[in-house]
Amino acid sequence: MPGVTVKDIDQHAVVKHVAVFLKKTGKLKVPEQMDIIKIVKFKEISPYNPDWFFIRCASILRHLYHRSPASVGYTTKIYGGRKRNVLHPSHFCRSADGCARKALQALEHARLIEKHPDGGRKLTSIGQRDLDRIANQIVVKQRETRKETGPIVISK
């Protein structure tokens, strides 16, 4: 099935499967403080999901697949959100740059991304190959489930 890329598939499915791939391969080195760190300053607590670092790295890989090169500042803008200032109007607030930097460094250490000469980071050929392979596996799995369930019949 040539021609299946990350751009052809639902983004949630891609991020979920890439996160599982990153966790299973063990290439990604998770920093020690990631279990207590707050990822954005406008939230009170750290994430509930213990695998949030793998999900964030998978999401960064997907963003780099679509838009490359990207820097730490671009990454903080992607994951920013609304800071609610009790009595004052809410404003946009960027996410923590330390978290984004550590995620990019971990992906770079795993050789999935590399530094771009003009600044920022871009996907390597290994990273692009892995993402396309995972996208192809998702499509194959979806086709198998359609064959098992059969055609959808709508009755009136």
| pTM, entire model | 0.87
Q: What does the DSSP 8-state code read for residue 95?
A: B
pLDDT at position 121, please?
94
Taking alpha carbons only, the member of 18, 17, 51, 16 closest to residue 34 is 51
pLDDT tens-digit map of 31-41: 888 888 888 88
Domain boundaries, the chain: 6-149
CA 143 to each of CA 79, 132, 139: distance values in angstroms, whole numbers, following the listed order: 33, 17, 6
pLDDT tens-digit map of 55-105: 999 999 999 999 989 999 999 999 999 999 889 999 999 999 999 999 999
Q: Quick check: 60 and 102 in contact, CB under 8 A?
A: no
CATH code of domain 6-149:
1.10.10.10
Average pLDDT over residues 116-130: 93
Q: Mean of the per-residue pLDDT values for the chain?
A: 89
